[in-house]
Structure 1
Amino acid sequence: MIYPTTRRSSFNASDAEVLNRHNRIYTNASPLLIGLRLWGFERLEVRHWGENLPTLGGRLAWEIMREPDNDAVDVVIHLVRSSATTLGSFCWNCVGANRAMHGARHGAVLNVAIFSGDARRLPAQLNGLWVMAGKRPAEDIVHEVVRTLVFPRVANAR
């Protein structure tokens, strides 16, 4: 299910796309909000598999970001799909995501990029942490990134 977020942010909360499930547990802490920023991915596609992302019993909430500078999220995962091959070796989605990662490097929010496509099309110099999906589905890689980088943050926040 897609639910509007109740956290304060710079965008209209009633239009936010938050991905979560109903298996919540009661905690005193608000959930860690993970924003998915799409570069070449379709919203409907991500919404479809996004409902299966882990919530850790309500400790994690997922949002497809509409605003690039959303200050309400705790973690940003940039989902980057290689641009059309008609552009040759140039990957517009990669350049945009790389600039966003560069701009976020001194911020307090963890930013990670997941790239799907031919790694030879990536910019020569990458900013931040990039994960190469190869031929694996982006959904599987998002699960792996969250298990590796986010679960420990949530466990340490007790």
Structure 2
Amino acid sequence: MPSPVSVPDTSGNVFKPEKINFLVNGQQHSMDLLPWVSLLDALREYIGLTGTKKGCDHGQCGACTVLCDGDRILSCLTLAVMKDGSEITTIEGIAEQGQLHPLQKAFIDHDAFQCGYCTPGQICSAIGMMKEGKARTRTEVKELMSGNLCRCGANTHIIDAIMDVQNQNGHE
């Protein structure tokens, strides 16, 4: 996508693109973005990583969840300029050296998706949640994953997959 030009608003203020730098999935990206561009749009439209999904665009469904400096965030509610210099991990960066992440494997093993639209956000959110170390029981996992919606009804299988990985890692 071409670099944006300066944009005047109705009161005569002029907004100029700002140079933003991210480390996305281990690769450095530098781009000129207007201040209102969301992190989600920067990832999808400017970098071309379309694994992160645009669901509601209001922070209510979790389809846009990515990891930012290791923490799960809703990229549709995050301005790209706020994350200048951050390390971003999207679903495309979860697998390492051609090997699926344990959660990706567990999603397959537990048939934790139907249409797959929410899956990238579910996996990124679950990785962040496990890193937080707050969810040990199935009830806690369900509560802390409640911001990620699956409209197909695979929620039970999603929780099964997460619990399987947590149990493999010594969590109860």
TM-score normalised according to structure 2 size = 0.28
Structure whose residues are more often strand by fraction: 1
Which protein has the larger Cα radius of gyration, Structure 1 or Structure 2?
2
TM-score, L = length of structure 1: 0.29
